[in-house]
Each structure stands twice: as C-alpha cells, then as structure tokens.
Structure 1
Amino acid sequence: MPTAARLVAALCLVVVAFLVSTMIIENGEEGKDYGYFTLVNIALAVACGWKIMGKRAGRGWTAGINNGLTGVASLVFWALFVQGCYEMFRQAMRNRYDGPFEAVKAIFVIGVDYGKLLLVPEILITLAIGSVLSGLATEIASRRWR
C-alpha cells in the first residue's frame, strides 16, 4: 500500500545513496569507470526505503531514528552485496575463478574490500546524519499524512 511515509523514506535514502556514491567515486581510483554504480545504489535505496523504512514508520521518535539507522544499514549491506556480485560476474567472465564455490566466496571478499572504501570519516558522518534525518523525516511524514 503506497503511503507518504514510504515515499519520503525512499526519497531520503535516494539522497543519501547519491551523496555517498559520489563521495566514493571522488575518493576512488582515478580513471576508473564506475558505470551504473550510482544508479544501482539509487535503485537499491528506493527499494530499502519503500520496503524496510516505510513499512516501519509511525512508531515514535526513537523508533524513527532506529528505523533510519536500520534503513541505511540495510542499504549499505545490499549495495555491497550487489556491487560484489557484479564484480564477481565481471571477473568470472574472464575465467578468474576455478570453480563456483570460489566465485561465491569472492562475492563476500569483494564486498569487504568495497566496505573498506566506506571507512572514510566524511562518508561515515554522511551515513550517520543521513540515517537520523531519514528516520525523522519518515516519522514526520507518517504522523502528518495518515
């Protein structure tokens, strides 16, 4: 069921995903082609905002902040997983792996390597502030437009 809280949650996570994606691209390797990196993260942000945050809105201010933290954490998890899967498939097409289990293991290794890119203070601060503001905005939308 579409609600204003789901829409606001999705839009807030889109802003967070866009900001963090551009920060990662700016801090990343020079000359590397990131392709659809930002668009994939934005699509994941819409899904996490709509399905995770929007569904749990309307339970109070503390729960709203926790909802924002949960939404951003799930967005980071799914973004790392999806980007890891993409990179694994890209490398698998070049016959980099000996078997399927090595390829599946590589998804998580690549995800951890990508996660290390998030350990920059400006990105962590953006994720923290974005999660709190997203949770509060979703809670306000839930209370205002029922």
Structure 2
Amino acid sequence: MPTAARLVAACCLALLAFTVSYQIMARMPESTNFGIFVPLNIGLGVVCGWVVMGRNRKSSFPGAMNNGIAGVAVLVFWGLVVQGGYEMFRQAMNHRYHGPLDALYGIIELSAEYAQVLLAPGIIVTLVVGAILSGFVTGYASKTWR
C-alpha cells in the first residue's frame, strides 16, 4: 500500500544511489563504458527504499538509524549483484565462460571486484551518512503523514 514513508524512503535511496554512482564513476578508469549504470542504480534505490525502508518505518532514534542502515545494505548488496550479473552477461556474449556454473562464479568475482571500489573512505562516509539521514527522514515522514 502506498504511504508517504515509502515514497520518501524511495526518493532518499534513489538520491543516495545517484550520488554514490557518480562517486564510483570518478574512481574508475576514464575508458570505462558505464552504459545504464546510473539509471539502474537509481531504480534499485527506488525499489529498495520502497520495499525495505518503507515497510519497516521506525520513528525512534535507534529504529530509524537501523532502518536506514538496513536499506542501504540491501541496496549495496543488490547493486553489486545486479552490476556483476550485467557485466557477466556482457562477457558471456563474448564467449568468456565455458558453462553456467562458470558464469555464476563470474558474477561473484565481478561483484567482489566492484565491492573493492566501494571501500574508498569517501564512498563509505557517503553511504553511512546517507543511510542514517534516510532512516531519520523516513521515520519523520511515517510519524508526520499517517
């Protein structure tokens, strides 16, 4: 059921995904073709905000903070899996993998490589601060607009 908290959570995580996507793009080589990287991450942010954070809206200080951290953790997990899967599919079209199991291992390897990019201090700070602020804003929206 649509609520204001779900909408606010979706907007917050979409904004955070947009911001972090451009921070990641700045850390990658200039020759990297990003394709639909940013729109895909924004879409994941909307879905994770709507489903994860919007459903578990808490207005207390620890509850809102945990809700924001959980939403961002789910966003990062699915972002790594989807981007790794997308890159695996692109490489599979060039006949890089010998079978389906090899391709699944490729998703894990590519996701681990992408996770190393997220370990930059600026990106971690953005994710943590964005998670806490998103949780508080979602909790406020849940309490204010019932």
- Shared fold, TM over 0.5: yes
Q: What letter is aligned with 2:42?
A: I
2:140 equivalent to 1:140: yes
Q: What letter is aligned with 1:137?
A: V
Q: How many residues matched?
A: 146
| Two-structure CA RMSD over aligned residues (Å) | 0.8
Q: What letter is aligned with 1:48?
A: C
1:1-146 aligned at under 5 Å gives the runs: 1-58=1-58, 60-146=60-146
Structure 2 CA distance, aligned partners of 1:106 and 1:28?
Answer: 20
TM-score by length of 1: 0.98
CA contact (8 A) 2:58 2:67 kept: no
TM-score by length of 2: 0.98
List 4+ stretches of structure 1 deviating above 6 A. Answer: none
- Deviation of residue 32 (structure 1)? 1.3
Q: Give per-residue Cα distances to partners, 1:51-101, cap 9 Å, x unaligned.
A: 000000035221110000000000000000000000000000111011110
Structure 1 CA distance, aligned partners of 2:23 and 2:58?
Answer: 32
- Runs of 5+ consecutive residues of structure 1 not aligned to the other structure: none
Q: What letter is aligned with 1:62?
A: P
Structure 1 CA distance, aligned partners of 2:16 and 2:87?
Answer: 23
Structure 1 CA distance, aligned partners of 2:112 and 2:33?
Answer: 20
Structure 2 CA distance, aligned partners of 1:32 and 1:51?
Answer: 31
Structure 2 CA distance, aligned partners of 1:13 and 1:20?
Answer: 10
